[in-house]
Every structure is written in C-alpha cells, then in structure tokens.
Amino acid sequence: MLYSVGAILLKTPAAGNQPMRWNTIGTSFMIKGKPDLFFITNTHVICNKDGKDYNEKDLALVTFLPGPRAAICGIKIEFVEKGLDIAVLSSSKEGEDAKPVLFAKPSVLGMGSSVASIGFPIPPAPKTIDSKRGSLTVVKRLSTGFISSIDFRPNLGPAVADLGHYEINMLAYPGLSGAPVFDINGLVIGLNRGGLKYYGNFAAYACAVRSAEIIACLKEHNIEVELGSA
C-alpha cells in the first residue's frame, strides 16, 4: 500500500518575494499499472472552489518508492464522476514503478470492521527555502479506525442523495481526500471523501465512497481493477 499512494500537488506561481511552490492538495492511489498508469482521487481535489478543473499543467503527482526514491509525475484527467466525487488520472511514465492496489471483492463491510487510510495531509503552512526551483513539503500519515455506519447519507446535494457511504470513526486529516481506505488484509474497501462536522465542529469521523460503487463506475469506463483473494 505504501508504494501505491501518492500526493497530488498544485503549483503556486512566484509572487513578490515568494518563490514558486508546489503545495499538497490531496491524495491519490494507483488502480491500474503498466501500460495504463491509472490513479484515482476525489473530484474536489482537482477542482478549484468554483468547481472548475485545475489546468493539468499546474498539477503533479508524487509517488514514493523503496530506496527511498520519489518520482514526480505529470498527470492527465481521464474522467470525473461528480456524484461519486471520484476522478481518474493517468500519469506520465515516471509513475510506472508505483504499485496498483488490490480491491476487496465488491461487497459492503459490516459495522465495527477495522479499517485504515494512508494519505498526505496539507501542511498548515508551506516551508520556504532559498531556491530558484521553489519549495515542497510532503508528509505521509496513517489513520486508523472502524466503520461506524455502512449506509451513511451525507448531505451533499441531490446528486448523491441516494448514494450510501461508509462513515468511519477515524481522524481525517485535510489532504487525505482521495486516499484509499483498506481493511485488515490490506485490500481497498473505499476512497476517503473527507472529514465530517458535528454541530459545526470537525469531528473524528470520515466519509468514504464504498468500493462496490467505485468498481462499478470504473467498469462503465472500461477500467478493470484487480481483486484480492481474502
């Protein structure tokens, strides 16, 4: 799983005394390997506040591999599905050493099931270095928890009114949007959509798109994923 997950970055142009920066805006993970190099994330990660896609030239994907090694990849947006809040990206050849995840068979896990997520929180403030090439801070985090609801219906508008989600008792760092949610066997059972508010305050609950709906959507776009045997 460690070598399947990458950070989505957005370029901030140089302004005044500030150098150009690449800032973490979310997480992505590989769903299909060579020759396709497909990754998945949330639609809202690659869209600005107006709901419009960012320019692909301003986006990048960083993958981390054994060694330690890192690869900075260009990306292309293959398609978005706003109801599910998922976007599929293809990466440049630099991403070819990442490992595609294994999905759990498309069924719904029970309440109380242990799960975890790996992603890249957005730093509270960018660190500036004295470099003409700009600066970058990327930090990986693991969150763990359990499923507290298997058919949660978040208030996200009419487009998703009938779409069930996992509600997970888990700290969802800002930036874990698009991160894989996996079970105790390391198989992906969902995609983290974001944290939840309770009476106006952020609580230790996450909302995740379920793998059954993700796999069905990918099939509609002729993308077959590999299922684990557990």
Residue ranges covered by each domain of the chain: 5-95, 114-220
Kindly indicate the confidence band of residue 184, based on its pLDDT and cuts at 50, 70 and 90. very high
% residues pLDDT > 70 (the chain): 86
The confidence score (pLDDT) of residue 189 equals 95
The confidence score (pLDDT) of residue 157 equals 55
Q: What is the pLDDT of residues 140-174, one digit of tens each?
A: 899 999 999 988 877 665 455 568 899 999 988 88
For residues 119 and 188, the answer to whether their CB atoms sit within 8 Å is no
Q: Which long-range contacts (CB under 8 A, 24 or more apart) does 20-25 make?
A: 20/133, 20/134, 21/126, 21/128, 21/134, 21/135, 21/136, 22/60, 22/134, 22/135, 22/136, 23/122, 23/123, 23/126, 24/120, 24/121, 24/122, 24/123, 24/137, 24/138, 24/139, 24/175, 25/122, 25/175
The confidence score (pLDDT) of residue 127 equals 56
The confidence score (pLDDT) of residue 12 equals 78
Q: What is the pLDDT of the chain when averaged over all its residues?
A: 85
Same fold, 5-95 and 114-220: yes
Tell me which CATH code domain 5-95 carries: 2.40.10.10
Please say if the pLDDT value at position 129 is more than 80.
Answer: no
Which of these ranges, 12-21, 66-75, 178-187, has the smallest mean pLDDT? 12-21
Q: Classify domain 114-220 by CATH architecture.
A: Beta Barrel (2.40)
Enter the pTM of the model.
0.88
Q: Mean per-residue pLDDT for 46-74?
A: 85
The confidence score (pLDDT) of residue 91 equals 94
